[in-house]
Structures are given as structure tokens and as C-alpha cells.
Structure 1
Amino acid sequence: MFYLAFFYPVYLGIFPNTFLNNHIIVIGIYGPLALFTTIIVFGVGFPILRSAYISLRDHRLTVDVLISLSAIVTYGYSITSLAFLGRQFLFFDVATTIIVIAIVSNQIRAKYKRRAVRELTGRLRNAETTVYRLTDEGETETIAAEECEEGDLFLVRPGEHIPLDGTIVDGQGTVNEALITGEARPQRKRPGDDVIGGSVAIDGAFEIQVGENATSTLDQLRDLVWNLQADQTNAERLTNRVISAYTVFVCGLAVVTFAAWLALGETGDSAFLTALTVLIIACPVSLSLVTPLAIGRGLSTAADRGIPILDQTVLERITDADTIVFDKTGTLTTGEMHVADVETSEAADEVLQRAAAVESRSSHPIAAAIRAHVTEPTQSTDFERHRYGVTATIDRETTAVGSPALLDELEWDCPPSIEESILHIRERGDLPTVVGWNGEATGVIALSDTPRKRWEDVVESLSAENRRIVMITGDDPRVAQQFEDHPAIDEVFADISPEGKEEIIQDLKKKGTVAMVGDGTNDAPALTAADLGVAMVSGSDFTVTVADALVTTDDLLPFVDLFEIARKTRRRLVENLTLAFLTPIIGLPLAAIGAVTPIVAAILMSAGTILVLANSYRPIMSQDSA
């Protein structure tokens, strides 16, 4: 306010020269203003100056370089004029405005980053990492990771996250440690190997002993969320290249302007002021806000719509997806399976108990449904995962549970009565799960699933945008017939193992860009293989880190919204970029011919920043609140 009360009357010639040249005014007013400006430029503005220094040291031209140059040159001109030349027209207010606008803009940019991850962090604060601890009796109990102590044993099923650091005591399989180590290739793990909390057991079940000072999955997830903005988007990289070229152009224009005015016979002071005006009006504060605010607005809108994004480049990549792959169980259906019937020549209870025992280390919805149907499962050992199911030892007998194709894989017999039961179950649209022991199928468990609400609206909407819709399922083709008959679904792959899903994704990628939507736990390899993976999770389940985005609602509509959010975010980027360049395009020619003063240039520079901020705060989607 003091700048306004003193400098602007000076600019307007309201104060007489005798008043301004008074030693009391010089010492009592100019002196404190110079000191205050020094504190603002070099104290408050230190982060910007430091960033500019580091950029120059690394031979990079960034936004902070041009901001620092404009502020320091303006400040230096004012100090020199006051101390040595006795001039009355000083521009401490302009130097202060440049720094304050830049600092405020940085704060707003940081605020948008916080808003972008607010949905995730809010859930994480209420989330806990679940551990299936093994008791001395060999049973499992569900507890929070914080309750585990060093030396405790816990169980990890295929597809689940390893909740804590530890050492494998029993079991072997592959583990994906990409989230923590950055190593994309899954690692084969055996008893005695160490595992990291937050990594994913792709196949194989493990008994793991808690290590010393163990880190939990939740800790890794928090790191993932807070580093959401770590990787630059293509738009940010492009903006940085534009700013680099822009900085060279503006500095060159300032030098040319100074030389031209000298050549035209103007004084050095007048030529310098004109060149200084060019630097001020071209100060790229608004350019630094273009991408972060647009991307941040898109991320926060997606989170509010129920599809939090774990990789901000999703908003760029999703619009390129020309093939959308849906898993069936848990994606196009609810995945909440239940046992509908048991057909067997033996006692139904024994078939269910044996099946529950074999499936005790599986995280698949089918396994969960069978376990939920049995109160006291039989004890089992020697688990082995196969392409189409699982085997384990019960009472010294090998027991198999899986799809009917497991019988062919193991070369076991299938009695005609069982074959007939499988046929009947498939004909009524249920899923047959075969149970057998001693080399022969003994019974069939029929499981039912429910299609997810409005799944047809989702595939129809995506198909209308000329995207190829594909469904993959491990179920029999007759079980998948309901989906295959839908006109919006172009192709259905049925009776596919988890490994086969990954192979199909790799084949589809040869023809275009593939986005996959699936169960984040059971479809982890396929989601990882896709160009863009979206996982269906419950509202509080944040154990999925192989996906690029999560659908946290009970329907798939947020996935459709993601495409619209991405398109409108890209449009907002273009709008912001246009507004950021509007002031320089209009103001630079005026500044170069001396038609505006430094203070007017500062006002125009601030106006450009305000325009970008105002545009960024507008809702991206209807009913989207700021």
C-alpha cells in the first residue's frame, strides 16, 4: 500500500521536485522502500533466485531465469538511480510485483498438486494394511500391519500385495517389485529370499516371516501418492522447451531494443528503460502456470468423479487408446460370487471342505466364495498352482480345484456324470469349478455372478467413439455368451488363464494402444502389460499399485468420464497457453517502441497471470465445483 501511496503520485507528477529532492524524503521514505524491496527480492524471492542459479549452472533456461533477470535488473536500476544518479522515477514497486506474483503463483501451483491427491490421501489416512497372520495352530487371523511383530508369520496369496518386509519361509513364485525398486521384470522368489513390503505376489503363495523394522504396503502407497507429480507429462516437457526458446527470444529482443534506441539518438537511460520494459512485460509467470493448473484441475476432477489417478500422464495417454479391454469377473460383473449348487457323487460337504482347503491361499473371487461357504475347512499342504487351477495335499491325497480344463492339464479322469453336470451348469449361465482327488473328478461346484450395473451403457458409449471393445475371461465360452452377444463388444476371449490374458494384451498392443480395465489384484500381470491399466477396487482398497488409475465406485461410468476429463483437460491446456501468450503478443511490440512504462508493463504482466488463474479455476465438467 505504501508503494501505491508514494510512487504512483510521483509517476503522475503530483509531488513537486523540491519535495522529492529533500534529504528527509530521500532518507525517510526512499531508504525504507529500498530496504523493504531488498528483503522482498532477495529474501522472499530467494527460492526463485536459487532455482534460476541452478538452472543456469545446468545450462537450462527456465521460467525462474527470466523472472529473476527481470526482477534483479529492475531492482538494480532503481538502486543505482537512487544512490548515484539522484533520479526520482524508481521502480522498486515493479521489482516487488514481479517477485510477489511469482511466489503467489508457485503457491497456487503447489495448492493444485495437493488438491490433485486429496482424494487419495484422505482415503489413505483411514486405510490400513491387512495382514493374514498364521497362528501356532496353523490357522489365519486378519490383523492390521501395525499389530505385527518381528518374527511373526503371515500368508500372502497369489495376486496379493506383500504387506510387510520379510523373509520367505515356505512357498515359491514370482514377485513384482517395480513399485519400490523400479525393476520392471518380476523376480523369482524361493524360501530364504527377502521380499519388500508393497511388492506384488504375481503367482505362488508364500509364508513370510516379518523382518526387522519392516516397511508396510501403506508406507509405499503414501510415497506413491506424494510422488504423483514426479514424472513430467509431455505437455510439461513441451512447455519447458517453449519457455527456453522464449527466454532467448525475450533477452535478444531486449538487447536489440536497447541498441536500436541508442542508434536512434536516445539517451542510454531512456534506451535502458525501454529494454527493461520489454523484460518486465515478457516475464513468464503465467507460462509457468499453464500446465500444472490444467493437469491439476483434471486430476482433482477425476478423483472427485471416483477415478483417482496414480500417474498424471494418464490424462495424455487415455485419449490415444483405440482398444479397450475389459476383464469379466469383477469388472463387467460385480465379482461377488456365491455357491449356487454342488453336484457330486460323494458327500457335498466333503467336496466343499476340500475345495476350501485347496483354495485357502488364493485371492480369486471364486476361491473367496467357496471359502465363505465353509465354516471349518480341512487342513492342506503342498500347494501348487497350475495354468487352470490349484492342487494341494489333503490327508496324503492330491486334491485339485479349478476349471474343467484343469483335468486335461493334469491328465485326470472325468466321469460321464461329472461331464453332464458341467454341461448343465454352463447351459444355465453359471460357472463350473471341478473338484477331484486321487486322479479323478469327484464333484462340480456351480458359482453365480451378477453383471455390474450399467455395463452396457459403458461399452456402448466407448464403442460409439470408434474404439474396439474386447472382453477377456477365464470362464467357459458359454458362460461368456451374454457378453459376446452384445453388439458393442467386438471380440471375446474365453477360457483364458491369467498368463494367457497377458499374452493377449501383448498381441493387441501390436495393433494399437491398449487400455485395460480389470481386477487390480487378479489381473495384475495384464494390467501391467497394457499401455494403460485401470483397476476396479472397493472404496477403501488402495492395495493396487500396478494400475495407472483406480475406479473406486460400484459402476464403470467413471471410466467413461475419464475420457471426457482428458479431452477437456487438453482443451484447458490450449486455452491457458493462449491466454499466457496474449499479454506478450500485445505488449511486447508496444514496449519495444516505448509506448508503455515499466509500471504499466508490470500491470499487464500481472493481468496475464490473473487470466490464466481465472481460466484454470473454471469447472472442467458440469457440476464440477472449484
Structure 2
Amino acid sequence: MDPVTDNDQSGEWFKLAIALVFAGQGMALGLGYNNARLAGEGPEFGGLVYWLIHGALLASALIVLLLLGLPLLRATFVALRRKQLTIEALFTLSMLGALVGSIVSSATGQSSVYYEIVAIVLSIYTVGRLVGARQRRKVEQELAALRDAFANAYVLDPSGARREVPVGLVDPAHDRVEVRPGEPIPVDGKILEGVGYVQEMSLTGEPDAVPRKPGDAVLAGTYSVDARFTLLPEATTQRQLDRILSIVERAGEQPSRLQAQADRLMRYFVPTVVVASLATYVGWTLTGAPWWESLFNAMAVLLVACPCALGLATPLAVWRSLYGLSQLGVVARSATIIDGLAMAEGVIWDKTGTLSEGVLQLREWRGAPGAEDRQTWLRQAVASVEDLWPHPIARALAQISSERLDVADTRLLPGKGVEAEVDGRLLQIGSSALLPETRPDWAAPEGDREVWVLENERPVTQIILQEGLREDAAPAMQAMNELGLEGRVLTGDPHPRWTQIGSAPVEAGLSPLAKQERVQQLVHDRRWLYVGDGINDAAAMTSGVTAIAMGSGAALTRSTAEGVLLGDSLASLPQAIRMCRHVRRVVQGNLWFAACYNLVGMGLAAVGWLHPVAAALLMVVSSFLVSARALAAANSGGPDEDHSTKRSRKEADPLD
């Protein structure tokens, strides 16, 4: 379908609105005329009223055609020049068949008219084209916004002054890039000066800001939390961030699986309809039938094969299913999510921010011997100090007490923590780098997320933090198992708390590109659903999987995925899969019914047993039947009858 740019998007929707007004008037007038004609009460052929009615019907169809038909005709022409028969060809053939048949009927007065079919076909095509263009434009805007956020770098002059330049103009051989606290890191490179924390969660999935020092590598797309860094840019033509964004862009240019299937079907169905219609006209002409009778029978073949039965019922099932998904908290960006959820054979979970909350929780508060009576005050003091800082660990520590004390002279200790005066005492809070050379013998073994509290430079408390799973993570993973879906957990966290979550093994320390490569390996064996939240998931989401992003995830990830999980409730995913499986079975049944109906109807029309009026009625009846069936399926959601759901339930596996 033709792309729709930002400049003409609003104009296209305005055209559609005007066209629908004319289409509605034409459909009402056409229905009244056809009913009156069948009852023998229609206006006399050739009379003024007759021509006024038919002129108005023709004008309404032509107005709709002028407003909405050019993109369809252009797309059909381009496809034919490439010797391709796409779904546009079927829309065009049905539209022109209905228009020509109606004009012949108006000119001869021998039959009913079908001008409304022109409006129906064009409206269905236009809505699909505009919605698809809107989604493509949204992804492009998110990609552009992310690029813009990391588009410029501050380069240090020989005098030490800094100037802002585009990233593409940074010279790795001579330039040094400065990044101050809170600023984005715009280049892949190595730290020359500075010690502090870097927030890498969007690229690596690591929930905590990680300490970085001279000699450590950093990536564009991350942020300095508390330090001033001087960086040596990496001598490369493309940042890892750019490679991820390029992967997402290329994926957006590929046709969806459903579109590709429809195009393959059209390669056989469109020639069949054309040949059948032409053969009908030639056959009846050779038997001596009047030309208009031959044309009517040929038009009947086209009308009975009109895609309205499929073009109305299947979109109805799709849109009602999308509404059902939204009620479950799954907002779809594309209708392909229905097929993807229905056919999924496994689930790939991101850990941080998806299965886990992405925030740290207090696991243990260990006080030094002799300081037991001061622990309540220390909790209040730690919470008061950390409440002043935006660091992820600080947010966790600020929750350990609701009481707040007066804090003075707060200072940042880059790469170590913070210090402040509370009630006249010097309090230091941070990593083990604050400790003297000898680790206290009363402390627990060193862990990945330990925080130390020093009072007047003496260790008084060891705090152990841990990552926690969402409350609905275990039930959701168990429900997926009962649906027959294998589970995998991929994370960029180099030191995850778990080696297995439920029955799903955890693969740790994966970079964004490593995640993508792993997913590409997995898709060779089965169809996967991918659930993630970070920018580090965006590339993996484009690797042949159906992707769902957490509602709290990165904007790019939400735009890349086929669906977004609002409220971040994982419990709705098994329900969504059950509903989509049921709807897909019903839609497939409708396709078989429509195929048989079209073959039988085209055969009856070809031998002259099906007048265009009867063909139109059959089209309406068939559309009603498949639409009612599709609507019932989408509304009910239906039980999942897949054999995998008949397995006996098992107890949820332990999480640790």
C-alpha cells in the first residue's frame, strides 16, 4: 500500500470522512431504489426521476472513487508493472466490476445497481492503509527522538573548554568527549578520567547503575548518574545504538506475515476470478445471448466473488479481538498480534522490568555489634539522606523508613556513594569502597548489591538489597506452561539472582545484539512470543517473534512491539493467548467457508443460474453469516481446545 506522509495524513482522513458521508447517502438511496424496483414500484425507465436517482448514485460512487480510489489504482498499477498480483488487485477488480455492472444496469434498466459496493471496498482499503501508515510514522518518530537525544557530544578543546558538535563530526584520533552528571553518553568509547555510576538499564537490562572507572568501556544510549567523565571515542563507523535502531528500521520495512499470506493467495485467486468472468462473457456471447446479458452474467461472477465477505468478516473478528485484548490490558499496534499470539509455541521473557519489578528491595539489615540500639535512628537517617537523590539504589533505601530527619551538608562521593550530616553526626552511605582495608568480621559475605552505612567513618550497618519478581510472574509463567508454551529468560544482567525462574532457564549477561542473535537461533525451532521492556529488547523483538512490550517500558520498545501491556500485569497474557487461538480457528473456518462459497457462487453465476441481484443477495447473506460467526468468536473468546491445555495441572516450580 502507498505510504502516507505526515503532510497529507490529516488530509487523507478528512477525505475519508467526506467520502463516508457520500457513501452513506448513496447506500441509503441505492437500497431504497432496489427495494422499490423489486416490489414493482420503481420509477419508469428513461423518466426524469429514474435518471435523477441513477445520476445521484453514479455521482456518489464517482466522488468516493475520486476521493479514495487514486492510491488503490496507483498501487495496483505499480504491482502489475512488477508482474505481481497483490490484494490491491482484488480490491480494484471488485470495485471496477461493481461500478461497471451498475453503470450497465443504469443504462439498460434491466437490473438492480451496486454502486454502494464501490464505497465499501474503497473505505475498507483506505482505513487499512491509513492505520498502517500511522503506525509506521509513530515508529519513525520514536527512532528519530532517540537518535536526537544522543545526536550531539561535548568535545573538549585544548584549553579545557567544551563545545557541542554532532556525533558524526567527533574525531576519535584527536577529540575527547566530556559527559557531566545527568547527561547522556553519546559515543561508544573508553573512560579516560572520572569515577562514578552509569545507568545502563536501557541497553543492558542491568537494574542498578553500575560503577565505572578509567579504562572501562561505555556505550552510547546510557547516562552518567553522578560523575564527570572524559571519554576516548571508539574508532568505529557506527555506534551499537545506531545498529540497534537500524535493525528496527529494516524490520519495519518488511511486510507482515498476514500481508504476505494474503498476497500469495491473491496470486491464485485474482487470476481465477478474472478468467472465470471473461470465460462467462465469451461463453454466453458465443451462445447468441445479448451482449448486456453476457456482461451481466460476467459481472455476477465478479460480484459473487467480491471480497466483501472476507473483507468485512475478517476485519470484524480482528477489530473485535483487538478490543477484547484491550479489555485484558493488551493494546495492539498491529493486527498481526492475533495470529502471533495464537501460533506461539514458546515465550521468551526479559527479566529486569518484565518478570522483575526493576527496582531493588530490602532483604537484610545487619547492624554492627554494640550498635543495635541505634538501628532505628540509622534507618531514619539513611532514608532521609537517600530521599534527596535520584539514584535507583537511593530510591530503594528511601523506602525503609517513613520518618524524616534534618539533613545538612550533603555531598556526593563519585563511584562510592554519598555523605551528609544528620543530627551532628557524619553519615556515609555507599559501596564497599567506603570501608577501611579490613572488612568487618560481623558482615555477611560480599554480595552484588550490598550497601554500607558508616557513622563518623566507622561501619555500623550492612544493608543487603535484592531484586524481586512481580507478584503475577510465577502464575503467568505456570499458565503459559499449561498452554504448552516453553519458557526462556534472556537478560543483560551479568549477575542475576536466579539461574532459573519457574521452569524457564535464565541466560545472563547478554548485550542487545547478543539477545538478538540468541533469538534468531531460537526461532529456527519454533514460534516465539517475546515479552520485554527496554531498548536492549528492541532489536530482539524484530527477529521473527511476536513482541509485547511492558507499558512502563521504553518508548522505542513500545513502538517496535506488536502490542503493549498496560498496567504491566502479566496475568492477562495467558488469557490473551486463549482468546486469539479461538478466534484464529474461527477465522480459518470462515476462510474455508468463503472459499467454497466463492467457487460454488462463481460456478452458478457462470452458467447463468445466478442473476446479479441474487449474487448481491448471496454476498450480503454470506457476509452476514461469516461476520456473525466472527463476532461471536471475538466476543466469547472461547475455551482453548488445544491439546496442550488438557494436560494435568502441576504445582508452580520454585522461583529460587
TM-score (norm. length: structure 2): 0.59
Residues 32-431 of structure 1 aligned to structure 2 (within 5 Å) = 32-60=52-80, 62=88, 63-81=90-108, 88-89=109-110, 91=111, 93-102=112-121, 170-171=181-182, 173-174=184-185, 201-205=221-225, 233-243=256-266, 245-289=268-312, 291-318=314-341, 319-325=343-349, 327=351, 331-332=355-356, 335=359, 337-338=361-362, 341-343=365-367, 353=382, 360-362=389-391, 364=392, 366-373=393-400, 375=404, 376=407, 379-381=410-412, 391=416, 401=430, 415-417=439-441, 420-422=443-445
Partner of 2:522: 511
Q: CA deviation at 1:382?
A: 7.6
Partner of 1:591: 605
Measured in 2, the distance between the counterparts of 1:327 and 1:278 equals 56
Measured in 2, the distance between the counterparts of 1:579 and 1:544 equals 41
Measured in 2, the distance between the counterparts of 1:299 and 1:329 equals 25
Measured in 2, the distance between the counterparts of 1:331 and 1:233 equals 28
Q: 1:7 to 1:529 in 2, by over 3 A?
A: closer
Instruction: Give the counterpart letter for 1:459 in structure 2.
Output: M
SS at match of 2:332: coil
Q: CA deviation at 1:34?
A: 2.1
Q: 1:353 to 1:13 in 2, by over 3 A?
A: closer
Q: CA deviation at 1:308?
A: 2.2
Measured in 2, the distance between the counterparts of 1:292 and 1:262 equals 38
Partner of 1:578: 592
Measured in 1, the distance between the counterparts of 2:254 and 2:312 equals 17
1:615 aligns with 2:626: no
Alignment gaps of 5+ in structure 1: 82-87, 121-166, 177-183, 187-199, 208-228, 385-390
Q: 1:242 to 1:480 in 2, by over 3 A?
A: closer
Measured in 2, the distance between the counterparts of 1:333 and 1:4 equals 58
Moved more, 607-616 or 369-378: 369-378
Partner of 2:452: 435
Partner of 2:481: 463
SS at match of 2:79: coil
Partner of 1:137: none
Q: Is the 8 A contact 1:257 1:274 kept in 2?
A: yes
Residue identity (%): 16
Measured in 2, the distance between the counterparts of 1:333 and 1:2 equals 59
Measured in 2, the distance between the counterparts of 1:562 and 1:401 equals 44
Q: CA deviation at 1:546?
A: 1.2
Q: CA deviation at 1:79?
A: 4.7
Partner of 1:564: 578
Q: How many residues align?
A: 483
Q: 1:265 to 1:276 in 2, by over 3 A?
A: same
1:137-170 deviations in Å (ceiling 9; x for gaps): xxxxxxxxxxxxxxxxxxxxxxxxxxxxxx9865
Q: Is the 8 A contact 2:321 2:635 kept in 1?
A: no
Measured in 2, the distance between the counterparts of 1:71 and 1:525 equals 51
Q: Is the 8 A contact 1:250 1:278 kept in 2?
A: yes
Instruction: Give the counterpart letter for 1:34 in structure 2.
Output: H
1:22-48 deviations in Å (ceiling 9; x for gaps): xxx623332112212222221234345
Q: CA deviation at 1:570?
A: 2.5
Q: CA deviation at 1:201?
A: 5.0
Measured in 1, the distance between the counterparts of 2:387 and 2:34 equals 83
Instruction: Give the counterpart letter for 2:69 in structure 1.
Output: L
Q: Is the 8 A contact 2:203 2:222 kept in 1?
A: no
Q: CA deviation at 1:572?
A: 3.7
Measured in 2, the distance between the counterparts of 1:67 and 1:461 equals 45
Measured in 1, the distance between the counterparts of 2:538 and 2:435 equals 31
Q: Is the 8 A contact 2:313 2:623 kept in 1?
A: no
Measured in 2, the distance between the counterparts of 1:10 and 1:171 equals 76
Measured in 2, the distance between the counterparts of 1:283 and 1:504 equals 45
Q: 1:67 to 1:515 in 2, by over 3 A?
A: closer
Q: 1:4 to 1:372 in 2, by over 3 A?
A: closer
Q: Is the 8 A contact 2:297 2:605 kept in 1?
A: yes
